[in-house]
Structure 1
Amino acid sequence: MKYEYGDEPVIDANQHSFVFTDLIPGKKYIYRVGVTDYWSEWFEYQTPSADDNKFSFIYLGDPQNDLKSQWSRVIRAAYSHAPDCGFMLYCGDLINRAGRDVEWHEWFHAGSFIYGMVPQVMTPGNHDYNGLMLDPHWNAQFTQPANGPEGLEGTCFVIDCKNLRLISIDSAADSELRNEDGFKLEAQKVWLDSVLQANTKEWVIVTTHLPFYSTKENRDNKHLRENFQSILEKYKVDLVLSGHDHSYGRGRFTDNPQNGHKVMYVVSVSGPKMYEAGYKDWMEHSGAFKQLYQVISINGNELKYESFTAGGELFDWFSLKKKKGGKTIFTGK
């Protein structure tokens, strides 16, 4: 593929993907990639055990800016904290300017070998789009599931991991989601209802770039709640993880108290671009001007959430425990 951005040199690149199949649970694999005399270093990957429902993953808000100089410390701290995590989840805005190859170079430099050791899962942000056009690097670089609505391959999808169902909603093309006739809105609503109705996993987490409830004083994504919140509450989704606002907020809230279920919403940021957090009724805990990473651990009917600063200091935490009969017990800061 050829990539052009402004007056910068044209980049001519070859990208390849390979899907590993028939891997044995609980086994360590080593691999490298290359051709003839050109080979990468060796990577290793431990497949999850099939014997239990215990695992963890890392959740990161927007990296976006100064990836090599200031974001690299966050992803490396997160990996050092939880090197055995099942995957790393990004809530969009991986870079700042869609289509700019030099920024993708910084993103890959920042995480380096980690990307070859830990599966990377990402939902796109508005900075990963140019208007309504997805950055051409996205699907060329990342082999994500293509099990969502047609036309949203690699951005809207579902992944099952042990007793977790993880769902990505593509909210990045905001102008089309606001259009009630837009196919991205209608297709995702129908699809979301279907994958939640068919769910057999104990835990359900949704990730999307735009927050259902914003941390920033002058922002509100009401159209997301109007179109998706009732679906989440109908199927008792546990957690929604977002980015976009460059500050931190966490809380259980609803616009529909008659539905009898409140989803836990989290907004976080990992990059150095940070905003002040407003005072919003939905937030049970908030913070600003902190680069953060989150470790989410699931062990059967218990979920533990921890948020850490780049220096490894615990900033926020809560736990959810599911009881027989469908009741969920919350404990938290």
Structure 2
Amino acid sequence: MTERPMDSYWAETFSGLDSIGQYYPVLNVTGNHEYLKYAIRKLERRFPLVFSYFQDSMVGDNQVYTLRYNDLQLFLLDSNREFFYLWSQKEWLEKELQTSDARWKIVVLHHPLYSVKGKYNNLAQKTIFNSLIQKYNVDLVLQGHEHAYARMTLHDEQGSATPPVYTVSHCSPKSYRITFNQRFDKYGIESRYYQYIRIHGDTLSMSTYEVPAGNLYDSLDIVKSGVKPMIIDHGKNIPEHLNFQPGNSKKGQEYMKRIEEYKHNKEKSHEDKVNTKD
């Protein structure tokens, strides 16, 4: 939310939030830029004063928060901390999930549990939080940090998509070069994205839009009208944004090769599915 703990950046944050905060409540989770790089990380002191709901909900020095809104409950985590801090958050999260009777549950944290930068990234966060997210039937996991778009769903023993749905998204002008894993349903690179989430009746709908054009990039519904939740993937028919200009650098050429391999493998997987149905 704030680039660095300096007055000029906080002024920029306030300016950006001003028109939004007049109309909508703002819930925020800590990111790595809000933390100061000491041996034990230290949160920049203004953060919990600006987002003051953390003042009454912190667990130790962890900035955690939960909010119930009608049939929805949000669980905000502080994923920037060291292992022993994350462990105390795990105890808090399990207690909150156990006692929640909300029909819809969304977990929000900064670091992706399934990284798009590399399979060994964020292992502490994944090890500590992911089993709880799956055990207590969380529907949606909203994540950032790795500057790209990615969406992943789990699949049951019959191969049907099932919650939780994991998303990675960002609105930064800086883009990361990511790895590509076939377990993800959709990627987006070299662009910026935001999500619009709506709950209506027995359905949670998530739509992803590109910035600044505002065109629809991804869309799915989680429907709870039967014995178990069903996911309807509307985004699979929207082309992936995988445009990249490699230039003359060796790393750029290698990344372009990685993108082409991903495209080829995805096309082949689609052809195999079509042939199987035929």
| TM value normalised by structure 2 | 0.76
Aligned pair partner of 1:149 in 48, 59, 82? 59
State the match for 1:164 in structure 2.
72
CA contact 2:148–2:170 (8 Å) conserved in 1: yes
Taking the aligned partners of 2:15 and 2:171, their CA distance within structure 1 comes to 16
State the match for 1:319 in structure 2.
221
State the Cα distance separating 1:168 from its structure 2 match: 0.8
CA contact 2:71–2:103 (8 Å) conserved in 1: yes
Letter in 2 for 1:314: L
Aligned pair partner of 2:3 in 73, 96, 106? 96
State the match for 1:106 in structure 2.
12
Number of aligned residue pairs: give it.
226
Deviations 1:28-57 (A, max 9, x none): xxxxxxxxxxxxxxxxxxxxxxxxxxxxxx
Query: Runs of 4+ in structure 1 displaced over 3 angstroms?
Result: none
Taking the aligned partners of 1:300 and 1:135, their CA distance within structure 2 comes to 41
What does 1:220-259 correspond to in 2, within 5 Å? 220-253=121-154
Aligned pair partner of 2:90 in 165, 189, 204? 189
State the match for 2:208 in structure 1.
307
Taking the aligned partners of 1:288 and 1:220, their CA distance within structure 2 comes to 19
RMSD of aligned alpha carbons: 2.1
Deviations 1:98-151 (A, max 9, x none): x21101111222233221221110000111100211111101212224334233
Taking the aligned partners of 2:137 and 2:31, their CA distance within structure 1 comes to 25
State the match for 2:46 in structure 1.
137
- The alignment status of 1:127 with 2:36, answered yes or no, reads no
Taking the aligned partners of 1:218 and 1:195, their CA distance within structure 2 comes to 29
The SS at the match of 2:47 is helix
CA contact 1:214–1:220 (8 Å) conserved in 2: yes
CA contact 1:277–1:287 (8 Å) conserved in 2: no
Deviations 1:272-315 (A, max 9, x none): 12113321233100011111111000113200000111211001
State the match for 1:56 in structure 2.
none
Letter in 1 for 2:71: N
Taking the aligned partners of 1:248 and 1:320, their CA distance within structure 2 comes to 19
Q: Percent identity?
A: 29
The SS at the match of 1:214 is coil
Deviations 1:201-260 (A, max 9, x none): 100000000000112247622222221111111111111100000101001148xxxxx9
| TM value normalised by structure 1 | 0.64
Letter in 2 for 1:95: T
Taking the aligned partners of 1:262 and 1:163, their CA distance within structure 2 comes to 17
Q: Which structure has more RCO (C-alpha within 8 Å, separation ≥ 6)?
A: 1
More helix per residue: 1 or 2? 2
Taking the aligned partners of 2:71 and 2:99, their CA distance within structure 1 comes to 14
State the Cα distance separating 1:262 from its structure 2 match: 4.9
Letter in 2 for 1:300: G
Structure 2, unmatched stretches of 5+, are 156-160, 236-278
State the Cα distance separating 1:261 from its structure 2 match: 6.6
Taking the aligned partners of 1:204 and 1:133, their CA distance within structure 2 comes to 29
What does 1:77-96 correspond to in 2, within 5 Å? 94-96=1-3
State the Cα distance separating 1:166 from its structure 2 match: 0.2
Aligned pair partner of 1:289 in 186, 190, 195? 190
The SS at the match of 1:279 is coil
- The alignment status of 1:118 with 2:27, answered yes or no, reads no
CA contact 1:249–1:266 (8 Å) conserved in 2: yes
CA contact 2:163–2:231 (8 Å) conserved in 1: no
Taking the aligned partners of 2:163 and 2:23, their CA distance within structure 1 comes to 36
Aligned pair partner of 1:199 in 88, 93, 100? 100
